[in-house]
């Protein structure tokens, strides 16, 4: 699996959210560097689980859409009678 990576700007934005969570939910402050280290830890240790869940969800969504496409294709089938083969003598 490819390593989960974020740009510097993305990491900083996510770190701010981690910091806000710590303050609001844990009544504790965490520095930006610590928040980024925590983000890296989660990305490395459990990120694959979230990534795989996303792949499963994407697969299920695509399969459902393909079922719809197959149904629409079968609706295009023309009604035909039996084939009458002529016998040449």
| 33-79: pLDDT as tens digits | 999 999 999 999 999 999 999 999 999 999 999 999 999 999 888 88
The answer to the question of residue 44 being in a domain is yes
Residue 27, domain member (yes or no): yes
Q: DSSP state, 76?
A: T
Question: Measured between alpha carbons, how far is 48 from 57 in angstroms, rounded to an integer?
Answer: 14
In a domain, 83, yes or no: no
The pLDDT value given to residue 88 = 66
**22 pLDDT band (50/70/90 cuts)?**
very high
49 part of a folded domain: yes
Overall domain count for the chain: 1
Quote the pTM value. Answer: 0.65
The answer to the question of residue 88 being in a domain is no
Which residues form the domain of 49? 8-75
Asked if the structure places residue 2 within a domain, the reply is no
């Amino acid at each position: 699996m490819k390593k989960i990576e974020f740009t510097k700007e993305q990491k900083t934005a996510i770190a701010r959210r981690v910091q806000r969570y710590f303050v609001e939910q844990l009544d504790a402050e965490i520095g930006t560097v610590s928040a980024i280290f925590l983000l890296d830890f989660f990305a490395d240790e459990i990120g694959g689980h979230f990534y795989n869940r996303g792949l499963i969800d994407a697969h299920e969504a695509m399969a459902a859409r393909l079922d719809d496409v197959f149904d629409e294709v079968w609706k295009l089938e023309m009604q035909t009678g039996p084939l009458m083969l002529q016998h040449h003598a």
